[in-house]
Structure 1
Amino acid sequence: MTTAVQAPLPSRPVPRLRLAPHGDLSRAIDGAWWPRSYDLLAELPHLLAGLPRAWGQITSVTVSGATWPAVPGRILVSNQVVRLRRTPGEAAPRTVVLLAAGRGRWDLLVVPPDTTEEAAEPLMSAAAGGQVRPGPSL
């Protein structure tokens, strides 16, 4: 297992993230994330920095093998080690699963970086509204 050391975050736009409203209702998808590139080591720290504080410290992230083919075992984000896992195969849903010890689990739809804004916006809105189910075709 390898560890990736992350440099301090450069100044960058806010992550393209749309989250479902907070509530007691269990959801298959808790929102959507539209990264700017396929470079997980560059994108993940920005995603984690943009999450609500109420979610707590994310300690584990599982990503789709179809979207992120190369994933190190760990990454250092804001002086915290985050364990990274990758789902095997092309049939895995295009999601990222975030875990915070004692706080919960959140599943976000990953909109591919090369998606146009016209196509990404409806997907992100639908995911935040609970109208998207995870699946390999996303």
Structure 2
Amino acid sequence: MTTPTQPSPPSPPHLRLRLVPHGGMPRPIDGGWWPRSYDLLTELPLLLAGLPHAWGHITNVTVNGSVWSPAPGRMLVHNQVVRLHRTQAASAPHTIVLLTPGRGRWDLLIIPPDTTEEAAEPLMAAAGAHT
């Protein structure tokens, strides 16, 4: 007797993230992130799972409200509450700000999801090398 095999669940998509090498100097951009969509509820858990453990638990996230899809004021990510803030600031339309109490703030350049790989690669490289 054979039992039908169930297909294995699809693996999560590869996180497209490039971080500036760790250093003691503050910098305006800490890396680049190229999400696959502007759906924060889908993309944020993938991003947070891929961040260095040294960054600690991200408790607050700020994004450009005119670009990202609507989301609640907070969400549960990996069994921890993350507060979501939306801004309309023209000074940072393509960034995401991540905060960890007592550890710091990290600003990532967001490469728009519809950017071609050819155009995204130099942007990611520049964001990951930003000094």
TM-score by length of 1: 0.82
Post-superposition offset of 1:17: 0.1
2:38–2:68 contact (8 Å) kept in structure 1: yes
Q: 1:100 and 1:118, CA in 2 relative to 1: closer, same or farther beyond 3 A?
A: same
Identity in percent: 69
Separation in 2, partners of 1:128, 1:67 = 23
CA deviations over 1:86-132 (Å, ceiling 9, x no partner): 1126664210000011110000000010000000010011111116x
1:48–1:58 contact (8 Å) kept in structure 2: yes
Report which of the two structures shows the higher radius of gyration computed on alpha carbons. 2
DSSP-derived class of the 2:15 partner = coil
What are the ranges of 5 or more consecutive residues in structure 1 without an aligned counterpart? 1-9, 132-138
1:112 corresponds to = 112
1:30 corresponds to = 30
DSSP-derived class of the 2:41 partner = helix
TM-score by length of 2: 0.87
Aligned pairs (5 A) from 1:55-66: 55-66=55-66
Runs of 4 or more, structure 1, over 2 Å off, are 89-93
What are the ranges of 5 or more consecutive residues in structure 2 without an aligned counterpart? 1-9
1:98–1:105 contact (8 Å) kept in structure 2: yes
Separation in 2, partners of 1:58, 1:105 = 9
2:30–2:130 contact (8 Å) kept in structure 1: yes
1:99 aligns with 2:119: no
1:31–1:108 contact (8 Å) kept in structure 2: yes
Separation in 2, partners of 1:103, 1:96 = 17
Q: Matched residue pairs, number?
A: 122
CA deviations over 1:6-37 (Å, ceiling 9, x no partner): xxxx7312310000000011110000000011
Q: 1:63 and 1:118, CA in 2 relative to 1: closer, same or farther beyond 3 A?
A: same
Separation in 1, partners of 2:96, 2:29 = 10
2:127 corresponds to = 127
Separation in 1, partners of 2:31, 2:89 = 23
